[in-house]
């Protein structure tokens, strides 16, 4: 079937809640994708960061195959070995925490918000989040995501969410009161436009949380798992949160989320406090464990740092960079290219027409976040196309 035929079927059978590109992707290998008409694409966005090792990575194919032949879902009233392996790997790469597994970044944040509230005690329930932050679409996570176009139509949201500007310690301090339970912040904002924290900001947030006995939640759904050039974004800033949330890359493309909390916080979740039927199911957990094992063994975080420097250098050298590009920001392979033009959609379309997948957020910030495994010739070719697309748009 062709793109057109499949799109027509999609439109009469699925909810139209996503802005769609006119391609039905049917096969992927590394950072190459093919649609139903046989057109090839190079992928600089990795499925919103999910396919951090690209498509059909041999280690993940082996992990899913092995586990699918051994054991599928067991209820969480039983122990299962892949969860243990995955949680232990997180402890080694992040900090001494305890893992709760779910399916998505939003659910991980829901768990973190609940943990912040239950650990704060009676009368303390407020969660402070940041302007332009993004934490997911479920009602609690959405309440922490103060973007009017995402919230509109869903009021009333969960009460008790306060929003302050990102990277503004004075505003954060002013917002804390006796009812505050916690703070949720992305180490680098993703959806908000790849916004970097000022020097000392995250350390300052940590200090305020310590001073007022608040739960500090780092939403590392985008910045986790090697993307920024360290295992976790927090490691650039030398700050350890009380709770870290993960999603996207942790599953390598499978639906996996995790709330990872310091033991003294995690202890507030007792049997029955929170749960997720399929969270940490053996197949997803085995794939996630293989993602982290590959990341560590192949030092893909270092690779992200090295390739990120190459990408920034190449983009700065685009022949029309001075007039077409306002700023490049980010770390590793988590980069935002702010265009001089107010709208990035024409660049995204021009790129797609030429067989390149990129994304624009905040209207005019192109996000470059390929698989950390992207080979250098593919990356180079993708950047050639990006240059042409920016020129053409
Ligand atoms: C920082 C951040 N947190 C949470 C989420 C929500 O993740 P999910 O779509 O898996 O629910 C996202 C999604 O883009 C995100 O960027």
Per-residue model confidence as pLDDT tens digits over 289-320 = 999 999 999 999 999 999 999 999 999 999 99
For ligand 1, atom 13: residue with the closest CA? 136
Segment 9-28 shows an average pLDDT of 97
Percent of the chain having pLDDT more than 70?
A: 100
Cβ neighbours for 271, distance < 8 A, ≥ 6 positions apart: none
Q: Which tokens hold the place of 90?
A: 């997180």
Segment 225-241 shows an average pLDDT of 98
Q: Which atom of ligand 1 is nearest to the CA of 48?
A: 14
For the Cβ of 334 lying below 6 angstroms from any atom of ligand 1, the answer is no
Provide the β-strand partners of residue 129: 163
Q: Do domains 3-56+299-392 and 71-297 have the same CATH topology?
A: no
Pairing of strands 215-219, 243-246: parallel
For the Cβ of 367 lying below 6 angstroms from any atom of ligand 1, the answer is no
CA of 134 to the centre of ligand 1 (A): 7
Determine the Cα–Cα distance for residues 303 and 191; give it in Å rounded to an integer.
Answer: 23
Provide φ and ψ at 90, rounded to 5°: -60, -40
The chain-wide mean pLDDT, for the chain, equals 98
CATH topology of domain 71-297: 3.40.640
Transcribe 67-113 into DSSP letters: HHHH-----TTS--HHHHHHHHHHHHHS-S-EEEEESSHHHHHHHHH
203 as an active site residue: the answer is no
The predicted structure's pLDDT at residue 72: 95
The predicted structure's pLDDT at residue 135: 98
The best mutation among 136, 145, 362 to test binding of ligand 1, ranked by most ligand atoms within 8 Å of the C-beta, falls on 136
For ligand 1, atom 7: residue with the closest CA? 105
Segment 94-107 shows an average pLDDT of 98
Confidence of residue 244 (pLDDT cuts 50, 70, 90): very high
For ligand 1, atom 4: residue with the closest CA? 135
Task: Choose among 42, 95, 81, 52: nearest CA to 381.
Answer: 42
Catalytic residue among 45, 100, 125, 134: 134
> Any idea which architecture 3-56+299-392 has in CATH?
Alpha-Beta Complex (3.90)
Determine the Cα–Cα distance for residues 73 and 75; give it in Å rounded to an integer.
Answer: 7
334 as an active site residue: the answer is no
Domain ranges of the chain: 3-56+299-392, 71-297
Confidence of residue 50 (pLDDT cuts 50, 70, 90): very high
For the Cβ of 331 lying below 6 angstroms from any atom of ligand 1, the answer is no
Determine the Cα–Cα distance for residues 25 and 39; give it in Å rounded to an integer.
Answer: 9
Task: Choose among 183, 243, 240, 247: nearest CA to 209.
Answer: 183
For the Cβ of 135 lying below 6 angstroms from any atom of ligand 1, the answer is yes
Percent of the chain having pLDDT more than 90?
A: 99
Task: Choose among 181, 180, 197, 179: nearest CA to 130.
Answer: 197
Q: Is 268 helix (H, G, I), strand (E, B) or coil?
A: coil
pTM for the model: 0.98
Q: Which tokens hold the place of 154?
A: 């869903």
Q: How far is CA 268 from the centre of its chain?
A: 26
Q: Where are the alpha helices (DSSP H) in 280-344?
A: 282-297, 300-316, 321-324
Segment 7-11 shows an average pLDDT of 98
Secondary element (H or E) of residue 34: strand 32-35
For the Cβ of 176 lying below 6 angstroms from any atom of ligand 1, the answer is no
* pLDDT tens figures, 206-218: 999 999 999 999 9
Are the C-beta atoms of residues 49 and 369 closer than 8 Å to each other? yes
* pLDDT tens figures, 115-158: 999 999 999 999 999 999 999 999 999 999 999 999 999 999 99
The best mutation among 166, 246, 248 to test binding of ligand 1, ranked by most ligand atoms within 8 Å of the C-beta, falls on 248
For the Cβ of 142 lying below 6 angstroms from any atom of ligand 1, the answer is no
Transcribe 38-72 into DSSP letters: --EEEESSHHHHT-TT-BT-HHHHHHHHHHHHH--
Determine how many CB atoms are found less than 10 A away from the CB of residue 248. 28
Are the C-beta atoms of residues 74 and 284 closer than 8 Å to each other? no
For the Cβ of 110 lying below 6 angstroms from any atom of ligand 1, the answer is no
The single residue listed with the structure tokens 């310590």 is: 210
Tell me: cis bond preceding 307? Omega within 30 of 0 counts.
no
CA of 147 to the centre of ligand 1 (A): 14
* pLDDT tens figures, 330-366: 999 999 999 999 999 999 999 999 999 999 999 999 9
Confidence of residue 44 (pLDDT cuts 50, 70, 90): very high
Segment 90-102 shows an average pLDDT of 98
The predicted structure's pLDDT at residue 47: 97
The best mutation among 45, 49, 101, 105 to test binding of ligand 1, ranked by most ligand atoms within 8 Å of the C-beta, falls on 105
The separation between the first and the last C-alpha atoms of the chain, rounded to the nearest angstrom, is 31
268 as an active site residue: the answer is no
Catalytic residue among 126, 132, 230, 248: 248
For the Cβ of 220 lying below 6 angstroms from any atom of ligand 1, the answer is no
């Amino acid at each position: 079937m062709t793109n057109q035929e499949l799109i027509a079927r999609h439109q009469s059978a699925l909810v139209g809640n996503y802005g769609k590109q006119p391609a039905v992707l049917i096969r992927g290998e590394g950072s190459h994708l093919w649609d139903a008409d046989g057109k090839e694409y190079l992928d600089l966005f990795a499925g919103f960061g999910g396919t951090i090792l690209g498509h059909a990575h041999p280690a993940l194919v082996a992990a899913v195959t092995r586990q699918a032949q051994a054991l599928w879902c067991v209820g969480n009233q039983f122990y299962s070995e892949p969860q243990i392996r995955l949680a232990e790997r997180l402890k080694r790469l992040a900090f001494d925490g305890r893992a709760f597994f779910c399916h998505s970044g939003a659910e991980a944040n829901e768990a973190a918000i609940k943990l912040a509230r239950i650990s704060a005690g009676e009368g303390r329930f407020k969660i402070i989040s940041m302007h332009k932050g993004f934490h997911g679409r479920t009602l609690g996570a959405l309440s922490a995501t103060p973007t009017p176009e995402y919230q509109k139509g869903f009021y009333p949201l969960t009460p008790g969410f306060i929003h302050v500007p990102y990277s503004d310690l004075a505003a954060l301090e002013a917002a804390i009161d006796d009812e505050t339970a916690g703070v949720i912040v992305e180490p680098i904002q993703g959806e908000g436009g790849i916004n970097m924290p000022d020097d000392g900001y995250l350390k300052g947030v940590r200090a305020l949380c310590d001073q007022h006995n608040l739960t500090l939640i780092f939403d590392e759904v985008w910045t986790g798992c090697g993307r920024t050039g360290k295992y976790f974004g927090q490691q650039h800033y030398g700050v350890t949160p009380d709770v870290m949330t993960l999603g996207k890359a942790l599953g390598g493309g499978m639906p996996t989320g995790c709330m990872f909390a310091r033991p003294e916080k995690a202890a507030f979740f007792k049997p029955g406090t929170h749960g997720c039927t399929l969270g940490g199911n053996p197949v997803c957990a085995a794939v996630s464990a293989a993602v982290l094992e590959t990341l560590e063994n192949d030092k893909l975080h270092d690779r992200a740092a090295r390739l990120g420097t190459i990408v920034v250098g190449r983009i700065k050298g685009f022949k029309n960079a001075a007039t077409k590009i306002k700023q490049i920001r980010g770390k590793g392979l988590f980069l935002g290219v702010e265009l001089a033009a107010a709208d990035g959609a024409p660049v995204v379309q021009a790129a797609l027409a030429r067989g390149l997948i990129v994304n624009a957020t905040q209207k005019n910030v192109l996000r470059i976040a390929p698989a950390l495994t992207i080979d250098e010739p593919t990356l180079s070719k993708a950047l050639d196309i990006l240059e042409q697309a920016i020129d053409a748009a």
